[in-house]
């Protein structure tokens, strides 16, 4: 008896796991044609009343140390399409996505100091 799946079993498992989604493609500049107000990296346009997010470490070796979170993406909800099968998203507002690079260094496709194609667009 083997634990390996046959190709048709793999195809069936992938088919069952598929879900509707919105694909976001990286462009080098915020001003490139595409969806206005949506981009990866760079600087967000945080409203003045929203401070830059800070992560306060609770685990060793740095408990209590506060670190500014890294900006990942900004998404203007007004320009997102409706996707059949996904719950409706708000039609206005902006999502600002941040993460703590010290806890999740692989979150943006980086291994050590070497950028991956995800990060460089190569």
Confidence of residue 117 (pLDDT cuts 50, 70, 90): very low
Tell me the DSSP string of 51-88: PPPEEE--STT-TT-EEEPEEEEEEEGGGPPP-TTSPP
pLDDT for res 105: 56
pLDDT reading at 46 higher than 80: yes
The residue among 115 and 34 whose pLDDT is bigger is 34
The residue among 38 and 33 whose pLDDT is bigger is 38
Mean pLDDT across the stretch 28-35? 70
pLDDT for res 48: 94
The mean pLDDT of the chain is 77
């Amino acid at each position: 008896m083997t634990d390996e799946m046959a190709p048709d079993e793999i195809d069936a498992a992938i088919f069952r796991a598929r879900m509707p989604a919105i694909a976001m493609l990286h462009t080098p500049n915020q001003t490139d044609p595409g969806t206005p107000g949506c981009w990866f990296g760079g600087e967000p346009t945080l409203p003045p009343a929203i401070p830059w997010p800070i992560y306060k470490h609770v685990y060793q070796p740095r408990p209590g140390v506060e670190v500014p979170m890294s900006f990942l993406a900004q998404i203007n909800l007004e320009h997102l399409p409706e996707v059949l099968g996904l719950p409706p998203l708000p039609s206005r507002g902006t999502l600002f996505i941040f993460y703590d690079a010290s806890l999740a260094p692989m979150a943006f496709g980086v291994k050590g100091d070497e950028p991956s194609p995800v990060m460089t667009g190569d």
